[in-house]
A and B are shown apart, each in its own frame.
Chain A
Amino acid sequence: GAGVSQSPSNKVTEKGKDVELRCDPISGHTALYWYRQRLGQGLEFLIYFQGNSAPDKSGLPSDRFSAERTGESVSTLTIQRTQQEDSAVYLCASSRGQGPGTQYFGPGTRLTVL
């Protein structure tokens, strides 16, 4: 079956521009996560969606970051006025429900801010 997909796979942008990253979770997975992985670092939690509940945005590093999810499907992560420190791989994961359990990750979007 189809796994988690993310687009674009690579994004190069200029400092100050806005970017939008997309995640398509596995069908039927109610939980969706966004993580960031900077070079040489671990996965940093950004935001969590569970069904129609209010998302946990506690990991978003600044108000330039926002994310939306339509029901239990597609999610978009938006970064406004990008900065060079936003350069990282942004990973999306989905799972059947609340933890503990297995998260299935997408291939990630590599964002480079020049």
Chain B
Amino acid sequence: DQQVKQNSPSLSVQEGRISILNCDYTNSMFDYFLWYKKYPAEGPTFLISISSIKDKNEDGRFTVFLNKSAKHLSLHIVPSQPGDSAVYFCAATTSGTYKYIFGTGTRLKVLA
């Protein structure tokens, strides 16, 4: 049972435009969500997180939106840059626990 789903395996966006990566979850106990970026032959690196008490968190070009009623979160990258080309994973967890459930990732390609 996939508790965290990233239904788009890949996404191509023109440089300078907005990239929107989506993530859905099924477990209503999840209350903390993270996005990681992964380049080839490297481990994932933390990008941005959001607690369920918020519906938006912004860090520079990266914004994460959380819609608890829809059990959906999205990562917006504006403006997209070629260096953003990577695989993006969303992850979810429940406060007080240590288990992180990861999605299968979305490969973003930003075209110059």
Contact = CB atoms under 8 A, between A and B. Distances in A.
A56 interface: yes
A1 interface: no
A24 to B, nearest CB: 13
A1 to B, nearest CB: 15
Contact of A104 (B41, B46, B93): B46
B96 A98 contact: yes
Given A100-B32, A102-B34, A43 B44 contact: yes
Contacts of B91: 43
Interface in B60-112: 89, 91, 93, 95-105
A98 B103 CA distance: 21
Q: Is the interface of B mostly helix, strand, loop or mixed?
A: loop
Contact of A43 (B45, B49, B95, B102): B102
Interface in A67-105: 91, 93, 98-100, 102-105
* A35, A45, A99, A104, most chain B CB atoms within 10 A: A99
Contact of B89 (A33, A43, A44): A43
Nearest to A100: B32
B43 A50 contact: no
A48 interface: yes
Contact of A99 (B4, B42, B45, B95): B95
Interface in A19-68: 31, 33, 35, 40-45, 48, 50, 56
A45 B103 CA distance: 12
Contact of B104 (A40, A50, A105, A108): A40
A91 B43 CA distance: 7
Nearest to B45: A105
Contact of B105 (A42, A98, A100, A105): A42
Interface of B: 4, 6, 9, 31-32, 34, 36, 41-46, 49, 51, 89, 91, 93, 95-105
Q: Which 4 pairs between the two chains have the least Cβ-Cβ distance? A: A105-B43, A100-B32, A43-B102, A42-B104
